[in-house]
Amino acid sequence: MSKNESVRDYKFGDDELWQKADALVGSIQRDIADFAPRKVDAVRIGEIATIVTQFKNHPTDQELLGVVSTATETKDATALELRKKLSAVRNMAVTKYGQNGKYKTFDFGALSELPDTDLYRTAKRVVRVGTSFLVELASEGLTAAMLTEITTLATTLDTNLDTMEAAIENRDIKTQERVAIGNNLWNTMVKYANVGKSIYEFTDEARYNDYVLIDDSTPPNTPPTP
């Protein structure tokens, strides 16, 4: 966990949080006459409802992870196609020059193991070197069109990497926002649930229980807890 990562104040899932929030709003609306002396009216109930709506409308982590996964799959597909194209040029070069001299100028490296950023740089270098040796390698099948395809794939890979990284960053940001909204909702719920428990603590056990947000089996005549 990073130093700046937010922590949830509630110890259950987000879906359960808004279900509890909806139930709490329903209970307060039902008991609005009893809440009136405590200055809890429709406007203050709306405070909870507004945060619930904000929370429900915020992208879930599953959605954000899906965007990251899609971007990663797109990037991986481009990288694989680029590796195939570079492998073909490598075969042409080794057939023409062996593994010494001009072949080493390409510096293909281990294509199957190159990180994506290194793959991009390798592709750019192969295009430069391949262009300078194009006449010599034409006998092995190398064409300017092939080098153009490699350039296009390398550019696409660079764009795909940026898209993937942006999706990862957006997921991190939205996750922190969601935790902040959830904590605001939870703390607001606790505030009004405690009002409800204080109203019914000694008069109505059933209604008191409607305002218990965490079932800890505490008897209704003990000090209120969240």
Sign of CA dihedral 136, 139, 144, 148: negative
Residue 155: inside a domain, yes or no? yes
Expressed in percent and rounded to 5, the helix, strand and coil fractions of the chain are: 75, 0, 25
Supply the pLDDT for residue 216. 52
Q: 52 and 103 in one domain?
A: no
pLDDT-based confidence at 100, cuts 50/70/90?
confident
Residue 118 CA to residue 156 CA, distance in Å, equals 14
Residues 18-49: pLDDT tens digits? Answer: 999 999 999 999 999 999 999 999 999 998 89
207-223 pLDDT per residue, tens? 999 999 987 544 444 44
Does residue 132 form part of some domain?
yes
- Residues 85 and 163 occupy one common structural domain: yes
DSSP state of 219: -
H or E, element range at 221: none
Q: Total structural domains in the chain? A: 2
Within a domain: residue 46?
yes
Give the structural domain span for 43. 14-62+177-210
pLDDT tens across 111-167, in order? 999 999 999 999 999 999 999 999 999 999 999 999 999 999 999 999 999 999 999
- Does a structural domain hold residue 158? yes
Same domain, 136 and 155: yes
**For the segment 157-196, what is each residue's pLDDT rounded down to a tens digit?**
999 999 999 999 999 999 999 999 999 999 999 999 999 9
Q: Which helix (H) or strand (E) holds 91?
A: helix 61-97
Residues 165, 75 share a domain: yes
List, in order, residues 6 or more apart from 195 with CB less than 8 Å away: 35, 38, 40, 211
Burial of 219 (0-12, 13-18, 19+ CB in 10 A): exposed
Confirm whether 76 is domain-assigned. yes
- Point out the domain boundary residue: 169, 200, 220: 169
